[in-house]
Structure 1
Amino acid sequence: MPDFPLPTSPAPSPHAPTLSDRLALRERPMGKPLLRQQWSDLLFLHWPVPAELLQPHLPPRLKIDTHDGMAWLAIVPFEMSKVRTRFTPPVPGTHQFLELNVRTYVHLDGVPGVWFFSLDATNALAVWVARMFFNLPYLRATMRMESPSADLRQFTALRTHGGAPPASFRATWKIGAPLPPAEPGSLAFFLTERYALYTSNKAQTKLYRGRIAHTQWPLHTAQVLHLESTLIEGHGLPTPAGPPVVHAGGPVQVELWPMQRV
C-alpha cells in the first residue's frame, strides 16, 4: 500500500485521558492477580498513523488514543517466561515462549489501554487458553530468537494458525545505552507505560478490560539493523511511512488481573 501523509493534529476526543488518568493506572489494582509472568528482550517498533485510518478497525465504543494528535501502530516481539497462575507453579513446557504482537492504543471513558490486532505465540496451549477464556486474538506461529552477542538480537516468526491471515516477521537489532525513566507526558511514556488492555467478543458487541501491573519499563536505545514484516498488511492496516520509533525494554515482572466487562 502507498505511504500516507501525516496530517496536522486533530482536536482531541472530549473523553481523552488526562495525564492524571494515565498516572492513576500505575497504582496496583485491588484484589489478587490471576496471572504472573516475566517479559524480556522486548523490541518496541512504533509508527505514527493518522487516527482516522485506525479508528474503523476498532469496536464502536473504543476510541483511538493519541499523542500530539497522532495515533501509533506497533509491532512488539519479546520473550515471555515464568508464566503461572496464582494457583499453580510454572508448568514445564508452557511457562516460557516467544510472542509477537501488533497493537495500537485506545481509551474508553478516559481509561487508556492497549488494543491488540493479533498476538502470535509459539505455545499452543497459551494460544488456546487466551482465545477461549480471554477473547484475545492469539495465533499460533513458529518463532526463534537468537542472541549472537550480549547486545544483539535476531527474531524470526512465521504464522501457522489455520484460517488466519498469513504473516511473517524478521528483525535484527542492537541494544544500546540505558535510558532514564520515561517522563510522564513524553512520547516514550505514552508508548510504553500501559497498564490496561481491551478486547471484545467476535461480534464486537461486548467489551472487556483487563488490568496489568509492573514496574516502570527499563528502556534502552536500540538500532534496527534489519526488518522485514507482513504483519501489519496482513490485517488490512495501512503500511506506515518512514522508520519506526525504536526502544528496547525489559525485563519486567508482570501481574495480570481477570478481564471485566465494561
Structure 2
Amino acid sequence: MVAYRAEQRVRLAALRAGWLTQTFVHWSFPVEAVQTLAPEPLAVDEYEGAGWVGLTPFAMADVRLPGVPAKTPGLPTLPETSLRTYVRHPSSGRRGAGGASYRLVVRPGAPIERPTERDVWLTSRWRAYTRRLGMLRETPVEHEPWPLASAGVEVLEETLVASAGFSAPSGDPVMHFSEEVRHVRLGASLPARRRPSLPESGPLCRSVPAGPDR
C-alpha cells in the first residue's frame, strides 16, 4: 500500500528544505510501455491496471544542511521539475518514484478535504529511485502530508514525456496542486539493496530544468 504519511523517519537528514507550489500532472500508460523504460530490477507499480507518468514542477525553498535554521538569511530557492513514474523494488517491496521543455499554467481549485485512494497513490511517495553511474540508488524522504487541492490546466505544452521515450499522452491529465510542505527531510542517497519484503514504493525520477511558466 502507499501511505498518506511518511512510512519511515529520516532520522539523519542529508538535506532539509521546503517544497512550494507543487503541481502534479499525471497520465496513465500501458504497463508494458512504462516497464521498458524502467531500469532493472525495478518493476512498474500499477494503479487500476495502468502505469502512471507524472510531471511535477515545484520550488525547493530554504535549501540547507542539517542544523542550519530555516530562517537563515540567503538560503536559496530553486525551481525544479521531475518527470517520474512509479516503481517497486521486487526483492524488497519498496515502492518509489523513478526530464526537454515545458510550459504549464495551472488554476488551483478547492482543497481536497478527504483524499481518495488515487489521490494518495499518485502524490504520497516516500523514497526516490535514480540511476547514477550505472548504479540504482534510493533516497528516503519525509515531510508532513501534502495539503492537496484540485487543479485545472490553463496552458500545457510539453515535450518531456516524449523525450523520455513515451508516446504522446492521450486524454486529459489527472491534476493536483499543493501550496507547500515546509518540513522536508531528504536522507542520504544510497545503493538500493535487497531487504526483507516491505509494503513500500516510490517514484523513479528524472529531474529537468524548470520551464519559464508553471
TM-score by length of 2: 0.81
* Residue 181 (structure 1) shift: 4.0
Question: Counterparts of 1:69-108 in structure 2 under 5 Å?
Answer: 69-88=49-68, 95-108=76-89
Quick one: structure 1 residues 30 and 215, their matched pair in 2 at CA, closer, same or farther if it must change by over 3 Å?
Answer: closer
Alignment of 1:36-185 (within 5 A): 36-88=16-68, 95-108=76-89, 109-115=92-98, 118=99, 167-183=100-116
Closer, same or farther in 2 for the Cα pair 1:89/1:174, shift >3 Å?
Answer: same
Distance change >3 Å, CA 220–CA 27, structure 1 → 2: same
Q: Which has the higher helix share?
A: 1
1:187 aligns with 2:167: no
Equivalent in the alignment of 2:196: none
Q: How does 1:16-31 map to 2 (within 5 A)?
A: 19=1, 22-23=2-3, 26-29=6-9, 31=11
Structure 1 position 201 matched with structure 2 position 182: no
Aligned length: 188
Post-superposition offset of 1:23: 3.2
Structure 2 vs 1, CA of residues 100 and 93 (structure 1 numbering), >3 Å: closer, same or farther?
A: farther
Cα offset, 1:64, TM superposition: 0.7
Q: Can you give the 5+ residue segments of structure 2 that lack an aligned partner in the other structure?
A: 194-214
Structure 2 equivalent of residue 257 of structure 1: 187
Cα pair distance change 1:198/1:25, threshold 3 Å: farther
2:211 aligns with none
Contact 1:214 1:252 in 2 (8 A): yes
**What is the deviation of 1:27?**
3.6
Change (3 A) 1:27 1:53: closer
Structure 2 residue matching 1:251: 3-state secondary structure: strand
Q: Residue type of the partner of 2:21?
A: D
Identity %: 32
With a CA cutoff of 8 Å and minimum separation of 6, indicate the structure with the bigger relative contact order.
Answer: 2
Question: TM-score, normalised on structure 1?
Answer: 0.67
Contact 1:181/1:216, CA 8 A, preserved across alignment: no
- Residue 207 (structure 2) aligns with: none
